[in-house]
Amino acid sequence: GMTAVGGLVCMGGGLFPQNAAQVLAAAAVFVSMINIGGGFVMTNRMLGMFKQEGSASYNRNIYLLPAVVISAVYAFGAATGCSSSLCGMLQLIGAVLCILAIGGLSTQATARYGNTMGILGVSSGLVAT
């Protein structure tokens, strides 16, 4: 997930790429986003195959709250002009969430939470970039 963030940083910030390095960075972001999205979808489907009858339902909608808060904090920071330090902090939060996702995916009991933490981490990194 952080490969897409690295590519976004290397893209130069303009609307269109201006040189070969920025074109390669844009291509890397495109391929990385396909990989990230497909990975999250396939992990969710795989976890759905192992769901046992009678097990508690998993409510992923509760994790929309942190995503909305992260986006709102970034929007507020960008509107008030303190976005440079805020971007670094949100990127750090995204990186920590991605590391927590790897830890969460290590066991089947916590894999759904790990997948959701990964989605939040990548989303936070992308919002901050």
pLDDT in tens, 78-128: 888 777 788 888 888 888 998 999 999 898 888 888 888 888 888 888 787
* Confidence at 21, pLDDT banded by 50, 70, 90: very high
Q: Which helix (H) or strand (E) holds 111?
A: helix 111-128
Question: Which pLDDT value is given to residue 91?
Answer: 84
pTM of this structure: 0.73
Question: Which pLDDT value is given to residue 111?
Answer: 86
pLDDT at 57 over 70: no
